[in-house]
Amino acid sequence: MARCFVTRRLPGDALGRLAAEHEVDVWPGRRPPAPAELRDRAASADGLLCLLTDRIDATLLAGCPNLRAVSNLAVGCDNVDVEAVRARDIALGYTPDVLTETTADLAFALILAAARRLPEGVAAVREGEWLTWEPGWLLGRDVHGATLGIVGLGRIGRAVARRAEGFGMTVVHSSSNDGLPLPDLLAAADFVSLHCPLTPHTRHLIGAAALAAMKPTAILVNTARGAIVDQRALAAALHTGTIAGAALDVTDPEPLPPGDALLEAPNLLVLPHLGSATHATRERMADLAVDNLLAALDGRPMPHAFAL
């Protein structure tokens, strides 16, 4: 029986399956363990099931001499020092291909919410500002018939494009397969939705120059990775009216610290990374993460191994 440390409680019965075969220590808090706490709890573990918010670096791994498997409950491994894992010959797994449709749903929900100013409408009702119907009050943007620019036409990007078809939108994209150059996409789109991976090339891909290339009536949506957007430049663009609005499910860092300047920007909707937050999707992610740990601790290849 191996010892496993799990950095957060998981939905569904996945942890029960893991506990049936191994000793399981689950971090009890809603917030992630601090680095020192993570190192302390993982020190004697054979298997580690972690989240995107847990930094798995060389320092942590050096303090875990028994560690044989790391299972990341995420569609990528941005939080893992992959080279350090490779050097220790530790199995590394993740949970791919499980949240495409769910994240696409949320991306389109953000398009609609930002376009029709839904958060402001909800706040107006709650705060007693809904005094009467007024023709010029809380006017938003039409989604039907608008142009949607998709940056990154992978699984999620294509799923968003399918939803856009139902609204009669014109869809343009920036992929290498018949796509537009990014400046042309930004200039044409009424809504820009980001679905590219975070790489050195895409870090701050949407900065001051990209924002200036967008229409002043355009809305930016990001459900990919926070660091794809230069948040300082975005805040400035919202304050000056360079673009009409933005809706983010991801930020850099996550969570945003209290008082972050981005939160002072107008016409901005920020969610706490809810892209995969449905019962079915999160339970499926938990199942895949546990499947990875069970296989590795049994000496078998992880069914969803991250390429090392």
Q: Which residues are catalytic?
A: 225, 254, 273
Residue 192 phi, psi (nearest 5): -115, 120
Distance (Å, whole) CA 122 – CA 106 = 18
- Residue 71's H or E segment, with its range, is strand 69-73
> Between vectors from CA 296 to CA 37 and to CA 93, what angle results, nearest 5°?
65
Q: Largest Cα–Cα distance in the chain?
A: 68
Three-state DSSP class for 274?
Answer: coil
Alpha helices in the chain (DSSP H): 14-19, 35-42, 58-62, 82-88, 100-115, 118-126, 155-166, 182-188, 208-213, 231-240, 279-297
Distance (Å, whole) CA 255 – CA 260 = 10
- Edge-to-edge strand ranges of the sheet holding 191-194: 170-173, 147-151, 191-194, 219-222, 245-248, 268-270
The token pair at 44 is 């004697």
The token pair at 180 is 């537009």
Cα 28 versus chain centre, distance: 23
235: CB partners within 8 A, 6+ apart: 261, 262, 264, 265
Distance (Å, whole) CA 198 – CA 292 = 24
Q: DSSP per residue over 199-225, as a string?
A: -TTTTT-BSHHHHHHS-TT-EEEE-S-
